[in-house]
Amino acid sequence: MLKIENLTVTVEDKIILEDFNLEIKEGEIHALMGKNGAGKSTILKVLLRDPHYQVKKGSIYLDQEDLLAMTTTDVARKGLFLVSQNPVEIKGITNAEMLRTSLVDQGKTELNILEFNQELKRICEKLNLPISFIHRDINYNMSGGEKKKNELLHLWMLKPKFILLDEIDSGLDVDSLKLVAQSLQEYYQKYHPSILVVTHQKTLLDSLKPSVVHVLDHKKIVQSGDIQLAQMIFNEGFHGASIIDGRDENE
């Protein structure tokens, strides 16, 4: 479903990823781990066609289509959805307005406003968000944890088939973390999307149970394994587990 081959990416003329390879099949959950600054967020932003990240070499195919020939809008229409590490605040556009517009764009022209509002309300309740969030400006003046849950509200409404999660667990209190992990697990069981999850924490991996765990270092994936690899990293750290050496990539 997603195939990234020999990808080289630069930001402001600095090489961040080099000969990066990754393949995720339909319905698979993969985890991507690596120390700060390794390039985890970079690969997710490249997938969303963020113009700050230049692809110098390589290819990305999504359902056999050339993703690098697509715009961010095209990619979103294909069902790719990113919960970014720092969700952007959009003042002046409410959740409800954006979601209604997006659903109409998805072809749901017969959208019943009553049902739409009921669905939003139901999801807010499940995510333990106040109902007033329906009419809040997107992520505007929300706390870090509220933003992450607000992104989940979008996810449940838009029903993406390929989800990218960039440290969705950061900024969440213990109860919210459990709730978010459960909600994602429930979404997976219901819709079977493909998921690429970036995390430093165990809670999310314990509930999502990725079939493959990758470690990103020195601009590429240096090791892939099953959940045991993540367990080893949690227990011993990247260096302790001898997965990556001590050399600093940014020096």
- Residues of the shown chain interacting with ligand ADP in the complex, contacts defined by CB under 6 A: 11-12, 16, 34, 36-42, 52, 250
Among 41, 139, 194, 223, binds Mg ion (CB under 5 A): 41
The nearer residue to ligand ADP, 14 or 91, going by C-beta atoms, is 14
The nearer residue to ligand ADP, 109 or 250, going by C-beta atoms, is 250
Q: Taking the complex as a whole, how short is the minimal distance between the CB of residue 42 and Mg ion, in angstroms?
A: 8
Cα distance between residue 99 and residue 224, in whole Å:
37
The nearer residue to Mg ion, 94 or 170, going by C-beta atoms, is 170
Q: Taking the complex as a whole, how short is the minimal distance between the CB of residue 37 and ligand ADP, in angstroms?
A: 4
Contacted entry of ligand ADP, Mg ion, none for residue 7, CB cut-off 5 to 8 Å set by kind: none
Q: Taking the complex as a whole, how short is the minimal distance between the CB of residue 79 and ligand ADP, in angstroms?
A: 23
Q: Taking the complex as a whole, how short is the minimal distance between the CB of residue 40 and Mg ion, in angstroms?
A: 5
Name the nearest CA neighbour of 196 among 64, 60, 101.
60
The helix/strand/coil state of 69 is: helix
151-210 positions binding Mg ion, by CB under 5 A = none
Contacted entry of Mg ion, ligand ADP, none for residue 210, CB cut-off 5 to 8 Å set by kind: none
Please state the separation of Cα 214 from the chain's center in Å.
Answer: 15
- Backbone region of residue 93 per phi and psi (left: phi > 0; alpha: psi in -120 to 50; beta: other values): beta
Cβ atoms 27, 194 nearer than 8 A:
yes
Q: Please list, in sequence order, all residues whose beta carbon lies within 8 angstroms of the beta carbon of residue 2, skipping any fewer than 6 positions away.
A: 22, 23, 24, 47, 60, 61, 62, 162, 194, 196
| 84 binding Mg ion? (CB under 5 A) | no
Span between the terminal Cα atoms of the chain, in Å: 36
| 95 binding Mg ion? (CB under 5 A) | no
Q: Taking the complex as a whole, how short is the minimal distance between the CB of residue 119 and Mg ion, in angstroms?
A: 31
Per-residue b or e along 212-246, where b marks 16 or more CB atoms closer than 10 Å to that residue's CB = bbbbbbebbbbbeeebebbbbbeeeebeebebbee
The nearer residue to Mg ion, 53 or 133, going by C-beta atoms, is 53
The residues of the shown chain that bind Mg ion, judged by CB under 5 A, are: 40-41, 85
